[in-house]
Amino acid sequence: MSESVTFFILNQKFVDDKDAKPESQQLVYYGLAIGHHLGVIDCFKPALTCPLERYQEWLAAIPDEQARQKLAGIPKYGEIVINSTHVVMLAKGLAAMDDTVDSEILHWRDQLMTMLEMIQTETAIHLIVRRLHD
């Protein structure tokens, strides 16, 4: 049985922007983000998947200890949440990666950087990253 790491993104809006206050939009996103812990059907969609073995190589290529430790929570705990409070730290850590790293790993880094930019723009967006058994 193989294992993989999948980044799921919650970026679908369920509140009409014309009528909603920013606080209510945040509440809806937060409720959906924590809902997976309460047995609520996930509203997250897969955005990036890589084999666990290659993910470990990706982690090893991140020179920034704080960013590496955050992302190392996936193999260790099976799941992490990435939200607006993690964007700057992770973006700095990923940007510090050597560009001579394997092209597939650089592609994953770039995809994650794009998701972090989305969170920076819309702070209510969340990522759930899970270790999955295929």
pTM of the entire predicted model: 0.80
pLDDT of amino acid 124: 82
Counting the structural domains of the chain, the total is 1
pLDDT of amino acid 39: 46
pLDDT of amino acid 40: 44
Chunked in runs of 10, what are the mean pLDDT values of the chain (134 residues)?
93 55 58 53 82 98 98 96 96 96 97 97 90 90
- Report the distance separating Cα 103 and Cα 42, nearest Å: 31
**pLDDT tens, position by position, 11-22:** 665 545 555 555
Domain that holds residue 11: 3-133
pLDDT of amino acid 123: 86
Q: Residue 100 belongs to a domain with what CATH number?
A: 3.40.1760
